[in-house]
Every structure is written in C-alpha cells, then in structure tokens.
Amino acid sequence: MKTLLTQLSIATALLGIVAPAYSASISFRPAGQQLDSDPMNDLGVSVGQQFTFFLSIDTTGLSSNLKSFTYRITRDNTEILLEVATITPEADALFTRNAISDIPTPPSLTVGTVLYEIKPGETFAPDSQLDFATATYVVQPGLVNDGLADYQIELIEAIDEQDNNITSQFVTSQTLDLQPVPEGSSTLGFLALGTLSAASTLKRKLKPSQKDKTTVLN
Ligand SMILES: [Ca+2]
Ligand SMILES: [Ca+2]
C-alpha cells in the first residue's frame, strides 16, 4: 500500500510538471519549490533582480461559465517591490480589470484587491486556463529566509453566469517565501521550477543571452 501511495504521488508529481493546474484554482508562477525545512514554498532570488509573476485562473471541473472573480495579492515590500502589474492581452479580450484597492498594511505589507468581470458577449467556460495578469517585481535589500509569505494570492470571490458564488470550488490561495540564493545560482529565480531535475536541466540551458531575452519579454 505504501508503495502504491508512493507511486501515486510520483505520478501526481509527474502530471504536475506537464499540467500544474489540475483543478479549479487561482495561482501564480513561478511557484517555487521547497528549499528548507519550513512548510512554505521558496524561491531563490538576488537583491536587485527583476522578475515577473504570471497569475493564472483555472476553471477545471466547474459546471458553469465564470462571470467574475476577485482576488487579493499580499506582498512584503521589504523583500520585493512592485514595478508594474498588467492584464494580459488574452484576458483583456475577455474581462474588464478593476483595481479595487491597494492598501499599505503595517509593518511592511501591501494588500491589493482586483476584480475581473467578463465583458458583454464573452464567456469563460469550465475547463479553461488563462494567464490573466503579469506582475513585475524588483528584489529589495530586505530579502531574507524567514519562512513568512512575501507573495500571496487569494481568491476572494468567484461568481458564475447564474450569479452563484462558486468560490469554494477553487483552490483559493498560494504563498511564496523569497530568499537569497548562493552566488552563481541566481538564474534559478527567473524560472518556474517544478522539480530539482527540471531545475538542473533548465539551469544548464539558461545561457546569458536567454536570460537577457527573458528580462526583455517581461
Ligand atoms: Ca520553505
Ligand atoms: Ca523571504
């Protein structure tokens, strides 16, 4: 039984590499990975580094079209500072984006709340995945490995076409602890890494020219 469970978890992990989102969810990439003993996922970055989160909504398993969703981003300004956040062209074709509030919260957090509403005549069907926003940050001198969330997304409310609140059908939150990486490993921070093997493969492939290209694309 234990072997079967191990195989199942390995299979799940493998599936996760191909299709990270396997149920209705709100999420971001890079999701990081476990780099230490505290339970939160970690991402190694360097002070001064610019990087981009890709925010995604997944409606796998829902039974009705999604009409609107409201989410909250909490970020720690001592470790990462927001440069710019924008709706993606793909999402802009379907949704209107309304920034509801962006509130500094002592000692160092800012909490942003955003509402996406489907445009008239458009639909966002079940079993769809959409990168709906990008958010570019610069890593700050306060970067530290403290096991606390530096970046968190929470789905506050999801409403379907029949005006039902379907929030409970989603995986509604994800967190990440940014932390320093040793010299020479900073390229890891540019990537969404699922596994250590993926990390080593990608790290080998990441030539300086590609790194520059990544930055420009962001
Ligand atoms: Ca951790
Ligand atoms: Ca941190």
| 8 A C-beta contact, residue 41 and residue 32 | yes
What is the number of the ligand closest to the CA of 75?
2
Whole-number pLDDT of residue 215: 34
Whole-number pLDDT of residue 22: 65
| 8 A C-beta contact, residue 81 and residue 138 | yes
Compute the distance from residue 95 Cα to the ligand 1 centre, in Å.
34
Whole-number pLDDT of residue 94: 98
Could you write out the DSSP letters of every residue in 51-110? EEEEEEEE-TT-SS-EEEEEEEEEEETTTEEEEEEEE-HHHHTTEEEEEEEEEEETTTEE
Per-domain boundaries in the chain: 21-217
What is the number of the ligand closest to the CA of 178?
2
Distances in whole angstroms, Cα of residue 126 to Cα of each of 48, 61, 68, 71, 179: 40, 6, 13, 19, 36
Compute the distance from residue 43 Cα to the ligand 2 centre, in Å.
9
Whole-number pLDDT of residue 84: 96
Query: Can you name the CATH fold of 21-217?
Result: Immunoglobulin-like (2.60.40)
Compute the distance from residue 140 Cα to the ligand 1 centre, in Å.
19
Low-confidence ranges of the chain (pLDDT < 70): 1-22, 182-218
Q: DSSP secondary-structure letter at 119?
A: P
The distance from CA 160 to its chain's CA centroid, rounded to whole angstroms, is: 23
